[in-house]
Amino acid sequence: IPWWAAIAGSVFVLRTFLILPVAVYQQRAAARAQMQGRVVMAWSHSMRSSLKLETQDQKLTDEQFEKLLARRINLKHHDLMLRQGCHPVFSMLLPLSQLPVWLSMSYALRHLCGRPGFWDNQGVMFPVADGMLTEGLAWFTDLAVADPTHCLPAVLLLVNMANVMIAQRRMRNGTLLGVLQQESGWIRAITLASYASPWVIACISLFQPTALVYYWTLSATFGLVQNIGFQNRTLRKKLKFPTL
């Protein structure tokens, strides 16, 4: 089969049999986290009353009281999520499981295109694989050179940004941002890195072989379809996700 089809088939196999099971587990954990968030939100009124009784002799300002209440709610929320195995730290499982696959495929495709890997000696020469110069698709028939039209990097940027927006919306739904007035520092750092990473990858892809950018784009598109599918109630029921 031509190289464009071989790369697409590899993406399908790897994402379906290695990444998808982890994604399903993560989605179940996210649904449980959202459920725990709603439980704690229901408790927030009683926690407020209880804290008022505890601090009535301390003469706290309204700002100090709200900060103390937010800390109490946050601690309770984290305790519940740890007990249920759905702490936000589990959201890192999917990226960590994808990273070895992504690096391995990227390393292999660079070699097949006659370029050294990211950690190879840059002076080493690699032969271009047979067919890599002619077995592309549409406007990118030569998979060993960078896309001269920059269309693939642009598509990659859009797809990655869509994935980030879906992930951020899911994270907001699974936290107590409606109760807590401030997000923790690590959540803000993750959010900033999430929105910056598609731009960094898109800039890097401008100078990479088309085969590599094609693989990145297909993998990101598979992830987008997966994320959209996970929003379907019928599919969520079949996958036995907790009902909110």
pLDDT of the residue at 61:
81
Q: What is the pLDDT of residues 19-64, one digit of tens each?
A: 888 888 877 777 777 776 667 777 777 888 888 888 877 877 888 8
CA separation for the pair 6, 218 (Å, rounded): 12
Q: What is the pLDDT of residues 209-230, one digit of tens each?
A: 999 999 999 999 999 999 899 8
Could you give the angle at the alpha carbon of 204 between the alpha carbons of 217 and 2, nearest 5°?
Answer: 40
pLDDT of the residue at 50:
83
Structural domain count of the chain = 1
Residue 86: inside a domain: yes
pLDDT of the residue at 215:
96
Nearest to 132 by CA among 120, 140, 144: 144
Residue 244: inside a domain: no
> What percent of the chain clears pLDDT 70, i.e. is strictly above it?
82
pLDDT of the residue at 173:
58
Residue 101: inside a domain: yes
Task: Report CA Rg, the chain.
Answer: 23
- Only one residue has tokens 């900033």, namely 192
CA separation for the pair 29, 39 (Å, rounded): 15
Residue type, position 62, single letter: D
Range of the domain at 67: 3-239
Least confident interval from 35-39, 158-162, 202-206, 237-241: 35-39
- Is pLDDT above 70 for 178? no
Residue 166: inside a domain: yes
CA separation for the pair 112, 140 (Å, rounded): 16
Q: How confident is the model at residue 7 (pLDDT cuts 50, 70, 90)?
A: very high
pTM, to two decimals:
0.74
Q: Which two tokens stand for residue 41?
A: 């939100």
pLDDT of the residue at 214:
96
pLDDT of the residue at 94:
66
Q: How confident is the model at residue 92 (pLDDT cuts 50, 70, 90)?
A: low
* Whole-Å CA distances, 104 to 52, 88, 108, 207, 220: 56, 27, 6, 19, 16
pLDDT of the residue at 175:
47
Q: What is the pLDDT of residues 103-154, one digit of tens each?
A: 999 999 999 998 887 777 767 778 899 999 999 888 899 999 999 999 999 9
